[in-house]
Structure 1
Amino acid sequence: MLFNSLDFALFLPVVFLLYWFTVQRHLKVQNVLIVVASYVFYGWWDWRFLGLIAFSTIVDYTIGLLLAKQSSPVKRKGLLWASIIINIGLLGVFKYYNFFVANFTEAFSFLGSKIQGNTLNIILPVGISFYTFQTLSYTIDVYRGKLQSTKDFIAFAAFVGFFPQLVAGPIERATHLLPQFFKQRRFNYSKAVDGLRQILWGLFKKVVIADNCAQFANLIFDNYTDYSGSTLLLGAVFFAFQIYGDFSGYSDIAIGTSRLFGFELKQNFAFPYFSRDIAEFWRRWHISLSTWFRDYIYIPLGGSRGAVWLQIRNVFVIFLISGFWHGANWTFIVWGFLNALYFLPLLLLKKNRVHTNVIAGHSKFPSLKEFSMMLVTFTITTFAWIFFRAETVVQAFDYVLRLFNLSLFSMPEVRPRFLIVLIAFFVLVEWCGRHQLYAIERLWLRYPRGMRWTIYYAIVMVIFLYGGKEQEFIYFQF
């Protein structure tokens, strides 16, 4: 079920009314309703996916109980590895098995030996990378003693399958989200209104910015051999705004929807395209995944401590894994490798945590230096996105070679003026709201109510009038 679909527009009010007007006083029943609603939401794509998420839920719930009863360090570690192997094993079969078989077969063919590799005719379950990491966070934190295992299976199932963030995040930690299922929830009007405001902005990002950018990005990338370098540059920029509007838009809708039901999810995007270096970008982009890799892989490996070669190793490990997490394709691995190269100088010069504050925090405009740094960071990020978007590594390099020639200084063949105006408006609003959790959180609250509602209705009208062709969220495929 897509957030930007009629199905969800009907589904959400029904669940909301049942949640607050029929079972408000019964916490257990509220959690049961969340589980049922989440399974309906998830099964809307394919009912066969439900068995997989139910299996993951049962496995980690059981291992959590066993960890609570076990005091032997060896046996506790065995239980932890059982959870890791089962979860990553399922992810590997559905997402990476065919990739490894194809590359294994190709490697032997290159060496002169032909072997027959049998691939699996299976579809990738929606959101499997997200809920796999979410359940793993529970097992790991119980093992580390940061969280007590729960005996309430319904609450745990609601935590794993919570429908607003089930298929594309944010990837919530058990330490943050799970305890919220044990607290009595009361309807809060101001939180609900704030949630609706964030949903509105998320829909604008997705339907107006991302979906319109997608049409032109797809056109240019699919026919890149027919266009000049300037048009290819425009295609890369359109994709940069497409993926940001698409993914951060989903996060906004997920967080806003959660607030309607009395839950608080963590911020997943913090205006990453206003970053002054790539380290700041990765602190602001897909925060829930970046911090997951940091806490569960990067720091256990040693992080930025130890010998220089160990620091370099850890940087490449974390970015290559991040790339591979996004998809079973060499393009994502190259994308991760590029980001590691970008990040490495900052780490070695110990400048990776210089920019932790909001850019131009006490000014309406950035300084010339800040603007230049922001432009450079956006440029190298957009360059890396070319590899993320391309179908193959060969296509990505060909795209880059055709981009950097004299035609780069010609007039682009594709010039959607209305979309450029919309992007400019979008960037302006995001800049004005960069101090907030999302752009319009408090942006117009000082205005009279009539003026505020006029602005909100105007955004709704823009969504209906200029919404692009309905498309799935990009991160559903991951």
Structure 2
Amino acid sequence: MVFTEFRFLFFFILIFCVYWALQKHNHRKSWLLICSYIFYGAWDWRFLSLLLLSTVVDYFVGLMLSRPQSDSSKAGKEIQVSNAVQNGETQNRWIFSWDTLLNKPTNKQQRQAWLALSLVVNLGLLGFFKYYNFFTDSASHLLNFLGLPISIKTLAIILPAGISFYTFQTLSYSIDAYLGKLKPIRSFWDFSLFVAFFPQLVAGPIVRASTFLPQLLTPKTLSEVDFRGCLTLFMVGYFKKACISDNLSPLVDQYFTNPEIYTALSCWIAVISFVIQIYCDFSGYSDMAIACAGLLGYKLPLNFNFPYFSRNITELWQRWHITLYSWLRDYIYIPLMRMRPKAQRTELFGYRNILILMLTSGFWHGAAWHFVVWGGLNGIAVVVHKQWSSWISPYKQFLTLRNMLGMPLTFYWFCASAIFFRSNDFSSAMEVEKSFLFFNSPGFQNLNIQIGWFFIPLIIMHWAAYKGWFAEVWRKIPNWSFAVFYGMLVSVILRFAAISPQAFVYFQF
């Protein structure tokens, strides 16, 4: 069920009306949980079992990590068997209760074992469904290269929608509970809603438990909902997805299916169209997800912050898919840095960890070597930028020039690296890179070059939004004016929306 389909709009209207008609907070949460499972099951009901398995495992792991800590040498002495008094006599019995279980002391080794269980289950499911065929193919090619003609069979595996997103969400819960940054929740139903909350379930933003779980404790009121803000944000996201991304998708697919038959100008048109498509697709989804959650009284984190106006590659990755890269920073980069004392954290050590982070990002995005190359190229770019900044910082006279050239050079590099992200395989990516970087025309056909004129109004509109020129105008007008103006914009947007809604690009991740 895609957000830009009319059936989703009817689905959400039903959720919204019933949700606010219910009086009790617990009833509202139960309704959201049921609807979230229906939403996910609409893709393929069989994969609900994976979502439920991940939910049950991490909920139980959280409970085990909430137990009081003790030294391993004392743990055995502190554990006592419950006593039951019956007929005037004291009898030793095991009486199971959550209080007994959760008050049972645990030591460091046991806590590590519970965390390991969460990691094994979640990463095991992700690894099997997303990476099994990748590893088997890679192993077969390596063995054949070494002169061992051994073929390992691949499996016809369907990738469950959103598995990369909810896996990272549940892992953050277990890791934060283990580190003592989060108090595990006792309510299984609240935890289930955190995992399955439908607006961000299949394509983010990646929501941390520390951000979402506290919101479940507070009853929501309709008067607190920012209707204008949420409706406007949903319309902006719908416009990005249905009018821009979906209309550019056929042109991009046309080029990347047979890049060898097109000219260098067509290559440039296709690559720029793709980076616009991917941004409008993913940021449009994030906008609609945040808006839907807001209409239900919940706040999701910002996922994009005008990344194409970044002045350097480091800034771009701080403003693109913010929730993913903050997750990688907190759970991969920072732990890697803390493996050494501060005195031993050299620049080279830091650069190595940046490369590991970006390679992980590439591997997270897709089970193919061209995704890994894409992540590695961006990791190298971040390292080069940091080193260059340290060299040039003493020379103040170059700062103006750096600021002037930073934005176009950053966008150029992002386009060049995005070729590996979009291409079907490594060899075709190299063919497109030659055409893009060296203006080499492998063929003689041209795409619809007139599409280039379409980029100009998009840039102007995006710049106006970036500068906030119309940020508060729609808040100051009367309600009737807002309703009329909103209706007019919706009519225009529907006129330019693609005839056939396309699946969101990030559903495959």
TM-score using structure 2 length: 0.85
Code of the residue aligned with 1:2 in structure 2: it is V
User: Pairwise mapping of residues 179-194 of structure 1 onto structure 2 (< 5 A)?
Assistant: 179-188=214-223, 191-194=226-229
Q: CA deviation at 1:433?
A: 2.3
Q: Name the CA shift for 1:180/1:422 in 2 (closer, same or farther; >3 Å).
A: farther
Q: Name the CA shift for 1:384/1:16 in 2 (closer, same or farther; >3 Å).
A: same
User: Pairwise mapping of residues 340-379 of structure 1 onto structure 2 (< 5 A)?
Assistant: 340-349=379-388, 370-379=403-412
Within the candidate set 307, 311, 319, 2:346 is matched to 307
User: Pairwise mapping of residues 47-446 of structure 1 onto structure 2 (< 5 A)?
Assistant: 47-71=45-69, 72-188=107-223, 191-302=226-337, 306-349=345-388, 370-405=403-438, 413-415=446-448, 417=450, 419-420=451-452, 422-434=454-466, 441-442=471-472, 444-446=474-476
Q: CA deviation at 1:326?
A: 0.3
Q: Name the CA shift for 1:383/1:459 in 2 (closer, same or farther; >3 Å).
A: farther
- CA distance in 2 between counterparts of 1:192 and 1:411 reads 52
Q: CA deviation at 1:213?
A: 1.4
Q: CA deviation at 1:462?
A: 3.2
- CA distance in 2 between counterparts of 1:443 and 1:397 reads 47
- CA distance in 1 between counterparts of 2:157 and 2:220 reads 40
Q: CA deviation at 1:432?
A: 1.9
- CA distance in 2 between counterparts of 1:182 and 1:454 reads 37
Within the candidate set 41, 44, 55, 1:43 is matched to 41
* CA deviation map 1:246-300 (0-9, x unaligned): 0000000000000010000110000000000001001100000000000010011
Who wins on radius of gyration, i.e. which is larger? 2
Q: CA deviation at 1:30?
A: 1.1
Asked whether the 8 Å contact 2:241–2:281 carries over to 1, the reply is yes
Q: CA deviation at 1:445?
A: 3.6
Name the SS for the 1:188 alignment partner: helix
Code of the residue aligned with 2:38 in structure 1: it is V
* CA deviation map 1:152-193 (0-9, x unaligned): 011100000000000000000100011111111111365122
Q: Name the CA shift for 1:141/1:112 in 2 (closer, same or farther; >3 Å).
A: same
Asked whether the 8 Å contact 2:244–2:280 carries over to 1, the reply is yes
Q: CA deviation at 1:456?
A: 3.2
Q: CA deviation at 1:464?
A: 1.5
Q: CA deviation at 1:429?
A: 2.6
Code of the residue aligned with 2:178 in structure 1: it is Y
Code of the residue aligned with 2:12 in structure 1: it is L
Q: Name the CA shift for 1:19/1:181 in 2 (closer, same or farther; >3 Å).
A: same
- CA distance in 2 between counterparts of 1:412 and 1:115 reads 41
Asked whether the 8 Å contact 2:259–2:431 carries over to 1, the reply is no
- CA distance in 2 between counterparts of 1:278 and 1:57 reads 36
Q: Name the CA shift for 1:156/1:236 in 2 (closer, same or farther; >3 Å).
A: same
* CA deviation map 1:196-243 (0-9, x unaligned): 111100000001111111111111111211111011011000000000
- CA distance in 1 between counterparts of 2:141 and 2:433 reads 25
- CA distance in 1 between counterparts of 2:495 and 2:445 reads 26
- CA distance in 1 between counterparts of 2:435 and 2:453 reads 27
TM-score using structure 1 length: 0.91
Q: Name the CA shift for 1:168/1:199 in 2 (closer, same or farther; >3 Å).
A: same
Q: Name the CA shift for 1:208/1:26 in 2 (closer, same or farther; >3 Å).
A: same
Q: Name the CA shift for 1:382/1:404 in 2 (closer, same or farther; >3 Å).
A: closer
- CA distance in 2 between counterparts of 1:457 and 1:141 reads 45
Identity percentage of aligned residues: 39
- CA distance in 2 between counterparts of 1:248 and 1:14 reads 25
Gaps of 5+ in 2: 70-106, 394-399
Q: Which residue of 1 aligns with 2:14?
A: 14
Code of the residue aligned with 1:212 in structure 2: it is N
Indicate whether 1:467 and 2:465 are aligned: no
Q: Name the CA shift for 1:229/1:20 in 2 (closer, same or farther; >3 Å).
A: same
Number of positions where the alignment pairs a residue of Structure 1 with one of Structure 2: 459
- CA distance in 2 between counterparts of 1:422 and 1:405 reads 25
Name the SS for the 1:59 alignment partner: helix
Asked whether the 8 Å contact 2:269–2:449 carries over to 1, the reply is no
Asked whether the 8 Å contact 1:202–1:248 carries over to 2, the reply is yes
Code of the residue aligned with 1:280 in structure 2: it is E
Asked whether the 8 Å contact 1:15–1:37 carries over to 2, the reply is yes
Moved more, 75-84 or 389-398: 75-84
Q: Which residue of 1 aligns with 2:74?
A: none
Q: Which residue of 1 aligns with 2:31?
A: 33
- CA distance in 1 between counterparts of 2:470 and 2:191 reads 33
Code of the residue aligned with 2:446 in structure 1: it is E
Q: Which residue of 2 aligns with 1:360?
A: none
- CA distance in 2 between counterparts of 1:188 and 1:370 reads 44
- CA distance in 2 between counterparts of 1:298 and 1:178 reads 25
Asked whether the 8 Å contact 2:224–2:297 carries over to 1, the reply is no
Name the SS for the 2:45 alignment partner: coil
Q: CA deviation at 1:29?
A: 1.1
- CA distance in 2 between counterparts of 1:86 and 1:406 reads 48
Gaps of 5+ in 1: 355-366
- CA distance in 2 between counterparts of 1:206 and 1:266 reads 19
Name the SS for the 1:69 alignment partner: coil
* CA deviation map 1:347-386 (0-9, x unaligned): 335569x9xxxxxxxxxxxx98645321111110011110
